[in-house]
Amino acid sequence: MRAVVHDRYGPPDVLRLEDVERPSPAEDEILIRVHASTVNRTDCHRRAAKPLFWRFFAGLLRPRRRILGGEVAGEVEAVGAAVSEFAVGDAVFGTSGPKLGAHAEYLCRRESGLIAHKPADLSFEEAAAVPDGALSALTCLRRAGLRPGQTILVYGASGSIGTAAVQLARYFDADITAVCSTKNLELVRSLGADRVIDYTQEDFTRNGQTYHVVFDAVGKLTFGRCKSSLKPGGIYVATDGLRNFPLGLWTSRFGDKKVALPLPDWKSEDLLFLRELIEAGRYRPVIDRAYPLEDVIEAARYVETEQKTGNVVLTLDGGRMR
């Protein structure tokens, strides 16, 4: 089968297309014929081993996983003897798990993993763009303890996590202020923000407004910068920045404004919850661009501009089928 592989850390050019052996499913696994995946920021961190701490996850000297790709949508091609939830021909979507490997024509996934039947009215491309951003945003909003009527500011509202956070905060009935640049104002408003601030025109930390939650969905803020925008008892939730771990510990004991950097703790129920929201018309993944698998280097370069709107999809044969 065709797969995108890399054997050393570096810029997008270390990726190359190669013929590799097609995996075969163990007893409790399904073999997925991949129709679509994504190139996300985690793929790029792992490939470049940047920041440096990624080497602890990805391999100290060289990548342990040759094939990247953490999100997948496709069709079940074969099932192991003990599989009961899925049958050949089922359309599925989800994460590819700790072994990654979705930048390939086929992928094996345990049936107990974060994999579910694809919502019928999403294409494979759309379905592949759901898990990472939405599950990350869900984890963070839950950690923030966001309740109906509370005020939340979503910074970086046009990214993968940001576009998901605005829609989920709408579902949780919060009062949402979203921050993005001029070109994304309309999109972010359409996702459910009550008001939108263009950060090229206005610095939200200086307008005197305060929020129960400031969610930094793009890793560009610091607690120090937005502390005065938090209400007493408010929380700053980050998606990035190791400094937020010690700050989280410190603020859990001292002061009345808190910091959290939640680690991914995604469960199958969360993916099913997202599917319900999608089927109820309350969530839709935002896709910026789609690239064929062979253009993965170009896709990775674009993701690394940090300017994508929502998600960047990789399509394999049949990616546009429903």
Ligand X SMILES: NC(=O)c1ccc[n+]([C@@H]2O[C@H](COP(=O)([O-])OP(=O)(O)OC[C@H]3O[C@@H](n4cnc5c(N)ncnc54)[C@H](OP(=O)(O)O)[C@@H]3O)[C@@H](O)[C@H]2O)c1
Chain residues binding ligand X by CB under 6 A are 40-42, 45, 132-133, 136, 156, 158-162, 180-181, 184, 199, 217-220, 239-240, 264, 306-309
Locate all alpha helices (DSSP H) within the chain, ordered by sequence.
41-48, 54-58, 124-128, 131-144, 160-171, 185-190, 223-226, 244-253, 268-279, 296-303
Closest CB to ligand X belongs to which residue?
A: 159
**Main-chain phi, psi angles of 67, to 5 degrees:** -110, 120
Rounded least distance, CB 306 to ligand X, Å: 5
Q: Which CB atom, from 180 or from 314, has the smaller least distance to ligand X?
A: 180
Nearer to ligand X among residue 69 and residue 133 (C-beta): 133
* Shortest distance (Å) from residue 134 CB to ligand X: 10
CB of 207 to ligand X, least distance (A): 16
Report the chain's terminal Cα–Cα distance, integer Å: 23
Smallest separation, CB 180 to ligand X (Å): 4
Q: How far is the CB of 27 from ligand X (least distance, A)?
A: 31
Enumerate the β-bridge partners of residue 236.
214, 259
Residue 218: CB minimum distance to ligand X, A: 4
Q: How far apart are CA 285 and CA 268, in angstroms?
A: 18
CB 191 within 8 A of CB 217: no
Q: Around Cβ 143, how many Cβ atoms within 10 Å? A: 19
Cβ-based nearer residue to ligand X, 150 or 160: 160
CA–CA dist 217, 321 (Å, integer): 31
The smaller minimum CB distance to ligand X, of residues 108 and 138, is found at 138
Q: Report the distance separating Cα 179 and Cα 221, nearest Å.
A: 12
Nearer to ligand X, 75 or 132 (CB): 132
Exposure of 220 by Cβ count < 10 A (0-12 exposed, 13-18 middle, 19+ buried)?
middle
Whose Cβ is closer to ligand X: residue 40's or residue 229's? 40
